[in-house]
Amino acid sequence: MSCYRSLVLGLCALIVAGCGFRPLYGGGRSSEAATEFAAIHIEPIADRIGQQLHNHLLDLLNPRGRAAATRYVLIVELKGSTQGLAIAKSDLATRSNYRLDATFQILAASDKRLLLRSSQKVVSSYDILSSNFATLMAEKDAKTRAVREMGQIIRTQLAVFFDQRRADRDKEIK
């Protein structure tokens, strides 16, 4: 039975290796994403939410804090809005959505050529409670969750972009 299990695991490993699967952030050749991330300069983003996203992106893109020579410029524009979701009989909202819309673009630092432009949205919900302070804290938490999720989305899109660029370069070389 264990021989059969070993054979199946070995066959699965060969299939995964043969299909071209490779981790997006892992070591080896795909660690190029981390090198590219370190070369990104993030322009300041307006408002408090923008400052939080800027700081979160700094941590996500370059966790070691050692900046490389700037090859890319990331520009992010944010727009946040709140919408009442669940309405009680008294016409008061009991639940709200915080929606964070981001448009971001990455430019080549040398000639300001547009390399990537994308728009994303994140929705984070929170309860409206009888205590104003509790509602304020719930809204603040919803905004923080939206910022963190947006940072992850932007990082993932940048990683895919850099990975695709590398794959395209590899095809040209062959």
Any domain includes 14: no
Q: For the residues 108-113, what does the mean pLDDT come to? A: 92
Any domain includes 102: yes
87 lies in which domain range?
23-162
Any domain includes 36: yes
CA–CA gap between residue 122 and residue 149 (Å, rounded): 7
How many folded domains does the chain comprise?
1
Helices marked H in 19-46 — which ranges?
A: 32-38
Confidence at residue 34, expressed as pLDDT on a 0 to 100 scale: 77
3-class secondary structure for the chain?
CHHHHHHHHHHHHHHHHHCCCCCCCCCHHHHHHHHHHHCEEECCCCHHHHHHHHHHHHHHHCCCCCCCCCCEEEEEEEEEEEEEEEECCCCCEEEEEEEEEEEEEEEECCCCCEEEEEEEEEEEEEECCCCHHHHHHHHHHHHHHHHHHHHHHHHHHHHHHHHHHHHHHHHHHC
Any domain includes 60: yes
Confidence at residue 147, expressed as pLDDT on a 0 to 100 scale: 97
Sheet holding 72-87, edge to edge: 40-42, 72-87, 93-108, 114-127
Three-state DSSP state, 133: helix
pTM for the full predicted model: 0.77
pLDDT higher than 80, residue 74:
yes
pLDDT higher than 70, residue 19:
no
pLDDT higher than 50, residue 84:
yes
Any domain includes 171: no
pLDDT higher than 90, residue 62:
no
Any domain includes 152: yes
Any domain includes 1: no
pLDDT higher than 80, residue 1:
no
pLDDT higher than 50, residue 30:
no
CATH of the domain at 116: 3.30.160.150
